[in-house]
Amino acid sequence: MSAKSLKQYAKEKSNFISIDSGDSYTAIYRGYKFIEKDSFGETKEYARYALEDLEDKRTRNFDSMSAALAERMAEVKVGTTITIAREGEGMSTKYKISGEGVPEKKEIPTIEEDEEIDQVNAEIAGAPKEEADTGEEDKIPF
């Protein structure tokens, strides 16, 4: 009989990756696609990253709504071995991506910070032209 915990069993059998705060996961990046799924009663768009496990060679999915993570993953080439590290819980979760050939970057903002940035961008985009920040005040008059 194995001394395996139910949590270990669930992770081995799942087609999805779950990373606890303070943990990391190393795998080969195999690409992404966009999906829609329910999140607290609302349908939301997620980026689904396909990651090949280094031990059992199975491809598992990692879903995220973070625009900052998507920007970071856009720099990663398919076939690259990466490590995704997680810090924090819920809306305070931050991910760090590292690996050979992965450009150095600072910490990825939390989902909450992403949503604040999206809200500001939407307000700017929806504002009348005279209210939108055009950068004109930064120009030096001749």
**What was the pLDDT predicted at 114?**
61
User: For residue 102, what are the contacts with CB-CB under 8 A and spacing of at least 6?
Assistant: 75, 76, 80, 82
User: pLDDT at position 101, please?
Assistant: 76
Phi, psi at residue 96, to the nearest 5°? -120, 135
Q: Are 78 and 30 in contact (CB under 8 A)?
A: yes
pLDDT value of position 110:
56
| pLDDT at residue number 130 | 46
Instruction: Name every residue whose Cβ is closer than 8 Å to that of residue 94 and which is 6 or more positions away in sequence.
Output: 86, 87, 88, 107, 108, 109, 110
Pick the CATH number of 14-131 from 1.10.10, 2.40.50, 3.30.360, 2.60.40: 2.40.50
| pLDDT at res. 93 | 86
> What are the beta bridge partners of residue 51?
29, 60
Which residue stretches of the chain have pLDDT < 50? 128-142
How is the beta sheet containing 42-53 ordered, strand by strand?
Answer: 59-64, 42-53, 24-39, 81-87, 94-98
| pLDDT, position 132 | 45
Separation of alpha carbons 18 and 9, rounded Å: 13
- Could you give the CA distance from residue 15 to residue 62 in angstroms, rounded to a whole number? 9
Domains of the chain, by residue range, sit at 14-131
Contact 27, 62 (CB under 8 A): no
